[in-house]
Amino acid sequence: MRYLLGALAFLNIADGVLTWYLLRQGLGVEGNPLLVPLTGNYGFLAAKVIGVFVCCWLLWDIYRRHKRLAFCTAATFTGIYLGIVAWNTSLVFIL
């Protein structure tokens, strides 16, 4: 579970950095309506980093009581972020 949460944190932060880069270059838009007001400044990256560590801490807390639920949730979101990072990376190299 520790490795899974580490991967989730890494992918979420990578998503933030890639999205920030794409936004600064004018090559993309932020899909999360809650983060749109923060785009274009360093508050966006701070929100992503703080948010992922809060989520990982909550998932770890849930894991202590409900191992299967926390593992499935973390695995699902890690897979989702893997797809998002792959997509953003392809945009960086294609555009």
Of 3, 9, 21, the closest CA to residue 55 belongs to 9
Q: Specify the pLDDT at position 95.
A: 64
Global pTM value: 0.86
Q: Specify the pLDDT at position 24.
A: 84
Query: CA 1, CA 16: separation in Å to the nearest integer?
Result: 22
Report, as ranges of residue numbers, the positions in the chain whose pLDDT lies below 50.
none
Q: Specify the pLDDT at position 9.
A: 96
Q: Specify the pLDDT at position 30.
A: 81
Answer for the pair 18, 85: CB distance below 8 angstroms, yes or no: yes
Q: Specify the pLDDT at position 44.
A: 83
End-to-end CA distance of the chain: 36
Q: Specify the pLDDT at position 26.
A: 83
